[in-house]
Amino acid sequence: MSDIAPTPRPAAETIRFPVAGMICGACVSRITRALRKVDGVTKVYVDLQRGTATVRHEPARVSNAALAAAVAEAGYEADLSAAVPTPDAATRSLLDRLLRRGSR
């Protein structure tokens, strides 16, 4: 028996990943709807200009593979190997305040 406890997964995390094949607003809507249908996804933002999707989800309920499958079912290609974690609004706000103070 090991005394080391496994690292708990966060209740929710936000990731951003590239999505290939988007050319218009209808593509954005189709991908957004597909991702919102996935159980465990709480927020979705798809950026046509950057070619990315930002998804807040519960890792215990939905895997990156499930997110990629939802995008693929909508007719696009998600590159979850290039996914990057994105700080939530509270963390981002704190970082902004700290960085502003440091630049004075």
What number is the average pLDDT over the span 12-27? Answer: 96
72 falls within a domain = yes
46 falls within a domain = yes
What number is the average pLDDT over the span 75-103? Answer: 74
**48-88: pLDDT as tens digits:** 999 999 999 999 999 999 999 999 999 999 999 999 998 76
35 falls within a domain = yes
3 falls within a domain = no
Q: What is the pLDDT of residue 104?
A: 47
**H or E segment at 44?**
strand 41-47
**69-80: pLDDT as tens digits:** 999 999 999 999
**H or E segment at 34?**
helix 25-36
pLDDT of 91 higher than 60: no
Quote the pTM value.
0.76
4 falls within a domain = no
Q: Provide the domain count of the chain.
A: 1
24 falls within a domain = yes
Dihedral through CA 63, CA 64, CA 65, CA 66, nearest 10?
Answer: 60
CATH number for position 65: 3.30.70.100
Selection from 64, 49, 51 nearest residue 14 by Cα: 64
Q: What is the pLDDT of residue 87?
A: 77
Can you give the residue range of the structural domain that contains 58? Answer: 13-102
